[in-house]
């Protein structure tokens, strides 16, 4: 069936991606979702330090420290570069396909619950879908953009944004106020004018500011004023700090759509001010604690 390969090609052309030429065997696996024979791929027993990239578009997919020997006959990884790999259940419901988030190239399948590593995850990848860059060789940098969101306790806001497809990095901090290098205690006492916020670095080839803003609005209550759940205070107000006119306009359009749906949105749209990273113990808080937010939940609003 040629519909999916044709769609992938059209999407890549629309995004103006530079795609590498493929051999007929590479096309069979990468575009037509085939599988190479087990124990034959060049990266099955490959354990050099470096990064594994998508053969079709060059995007970094896996780091060598995530690779392990599963004995299955194909390269196995228990983690991916954040936002680089998409998961899609197969039509038969038995397996979950993994593809490059940037160009849609077929990589293999992901399996959970096998207990092979502490992360309990196995990305079973075709060697033919990958290229490798040694650790001491300079790798091409992925393009990135930033966005800044505030919506209550920054632990909860970061929890939902950090694993969104296309997100490369998040950090929590303080912004919107007048004090340089504020501390958590100062912000909590209301001495700084700052709010708790999250700075998001993302790949614009994979996601967009609009997609992240929609997720932001759907993972906190934008109608609450100076609070979020049980947390109260000006530092918990809802705000989007735009870094350019396009972000400002997109945020305003989304707020208008919510108001048309009957939401009394209290989220402000403000020009970005200096962002001051919070103390280290706040960074990736729920990821470290292996728990979930107490005042942020997902609710579809769009």
- Residues forming the active site: 124, 153
User: Considering just the CA atoms, what is the radius of gyration of the chain in Å?
Assistant: 21
Say if CB 148 and CB 200 are below 8 A apart: yes
Q: How many C-beta neighbours within 10 Å does residue 296 have?
A: 21
How many residues in total does the chain contain?
302
* Contact predicate 124/111, CB 8 Å: yes
Distance of CA 8 to the CA centre of its chain: 21
Tokens of 35: 């599988």
Strand 268-271 relative to strand 238-242, pairing: parallel
Neighbours of 45 (CB within 10 A): 9
End-to-end CA, the chain: 33
Helices 209-218, 245-260: axis angle to 10 degrees equals 40
Residues 6+ apart with CB under 8 A from 154: 172, 173, 196, 197, 198, 278, 282
Rounded Cα distance, 86 and 100, in Å: 6
Residue 102 in contact with residue 203, Cβ under 8 Å?
yes
Check if the beta carbon of residue 54 is closer than 8 Å to that of residue 45: no
- Closest by Cα among 135, 133, 125, 130 to 78: 125
134 touches 144 (CB < 8 A): no
């Amino acid at each position: 069936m040629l519909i999916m390969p044709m769609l992938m090609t059209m999407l890549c052309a629309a995004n103006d991606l530079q795609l590498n030429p493929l051999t007929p065997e590479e096309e069979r696996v990468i575009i037509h979702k085939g599988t190479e024979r087990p124990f034959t791929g060049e990266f099955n027993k490959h354990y050099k330090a470096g990064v594994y990239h998508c053969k079709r578009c060059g995007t970094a997919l896996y780091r060598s420290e995530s690779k392990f020997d599963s004995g299955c006959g194909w390269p196995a990884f228990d983690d991916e570069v954040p936002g680089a790999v998409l998961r899609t259940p197969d039509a038969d419901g038995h397996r979950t396909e993994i593809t490059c988030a940037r160009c849609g190239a077929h990589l293999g399948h992901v399996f959970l619950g096998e207990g092979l590593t502490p992360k309990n995850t196995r990305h079973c990848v075709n060697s033919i879908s990958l290229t490798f860059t040694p650790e001491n060789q300079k790798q091409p940098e992925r393009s990135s953009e930033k966005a800044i969101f505030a919506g209550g306790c920054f632990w909860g806001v970061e929890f939902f944004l950090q694993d969104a497809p296309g997100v490369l990095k998040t950090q929590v901090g303080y912004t919107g106020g007048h004090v340089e290098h504020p501390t958590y205690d100062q912000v909590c006492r209301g001495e700084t004018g700052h709010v708790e916020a999250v700075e998001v670095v993302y790949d614009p080839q994979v996601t967009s500011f609009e997609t992240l803003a929609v997720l932001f609005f759907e993972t906190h209550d934008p109608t609450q004023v100076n609070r979020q759940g049980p947390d109260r205070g000006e530092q918990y107000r809802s705000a989007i700090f735009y870094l350019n006119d396009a972000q400002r306009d997109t945020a305003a359009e989304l707020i208008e759509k919510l108001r048309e749906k009957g939401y009394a949105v209290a989220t402000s749209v403000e020009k970005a001010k200096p962002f001051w990273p919070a103390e280290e113990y706040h960074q990736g808080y729920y990821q470290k604690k292996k728990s979930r937010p107490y005042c942020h939940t997902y609710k579809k609003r769009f």
